[in-house]
Structure 1
Amino acid sequence: TIDSQFEAFKADDFDTAFGYATPQLRFLFQSPQNFERMVTQGYPMVHRPAEVRYLELREVAGNLWQKVQITDAKGFMHLLDYKMEETEEGWRIGAVQILGNPGVTA
């Protein structure tokens, strides 16, 4: 699900990317255009990642969180946590949190 959303972002296909969010997030953002604005302004590293590495998947208080390491186009590394929720549509992204400050890769 996360990979598919990254592929949609790379193609600037925010309609498809929006579909990988949970129904609650889609209700919150109301439209792919609002979602696009949030991603490009608040999470630019996910819009155009240079490299993506999946780290641990863990359960916290009954929720599944996937830790993802993203290297952006400038070489900065970002750690993000994706809350994954199983819906009638399959696995969807329910939240994304940026963890800590970005660091430069070696």
Structure 2
Amino acid sequence: MRRATALFFSLLLVFPALAGDAEINAAQDSITGQLRAFRANDNASAYSFAAPNVKRIFPTLDTFMGMVSGAYKPVHKPQSFSFGKSQQVSPTAIVQQVIIVGADGKDYEAVYTLELQPDGVWRITGVSLRASNSLST
């Protein structure tokens, strides 16, 4: 009986960490999906990863793409990208660092915020972008 109780409490300690990893992975899948859609010039698919708050500010695909192609060129056409630090700040909010090599060959840090939607999908609520000469993750 003691072993079963100990096992139960051990699982309670482990599963929250696993759930967090699963949520981080799902959020990263959304970011990857959007970046791949941008690369493929599939703008409608890229827009589908935007959260409702972004779609309220940029209510059409054209306004969204105008913003992305103007202010977020490294995100719009990345040569490559990799994930850095991540943090699940609440059950429905994740912050994810993405290291991007832009079309210009320079390094950038993009910090994504994502929110879990009622349909169970992580959508992108914002991106902060800055150029960097050297990045550490």
Q: Aligned pairs, how many?
A: 103
Q: Which ranges in structure 1 are unaligned for 5 or more consecutive residues?
A: none
CA shift at 1:59, angstroms? 3.7
* 1:7 matched residue in structure 2: 36
CA shift at 1:74, angstroms? 2.2
Matches of 2:116 and 2:94 in 1, distance apart?
9
CA shift at 1:2, angstroms? 0.4
Matches of 1:43 and 1:103 in 2, distance apart?
17
CA shift at 1:103, angstroms? 2.4
Structure 1 or 2, whichever has the larger Rg, is 2
2:105 to 71, 75, 84: 75
TM-score where L is the length of structure 1: 0.88
CA shift at 1:11, angstroms? 1.5
Q: Which ranges in structure 2 are unaligned for 5 or more consecutive residues?
A: 1-29
1:97 to 117, 128, 134: 128
Q: Secondary structure at the match of 2:127?
A: strand
Check the 8 A contact 1:76/1:104 in 2, yes or no.
no
Matches of 2:104 and 2:38 in 1, distance apart?
18
* 1:22 matched residue in structure 2: 51
TM-score where L is the length of structure 2: 0.69
Matches of 2:84 and 2:132 in 1, distance apart?
16
* 2:95 matched residue in structure 1: 65
Matches of 2:104 and 2:51 in 1, distance apart?
30
Matches of 1:74 and 1:14 in 2, distance apart?
21
Matches of 1:50 and 1:93 in 2, distance apart?
20
Q: Tell me which amino acid in the other structure corresponds to 1:67.
A: Q
Matches of 2:122 and 2:86 in 1, distance apart?
14
Matches of 2:134 and 2:95 in 1, distance apart?
24
Kindly indicate which of the two structures has a greater share of residues assigned to helix. Answer: 2
Kindly indicate which of the two structures has a greater share of residues assigned to strand. Answer: 1
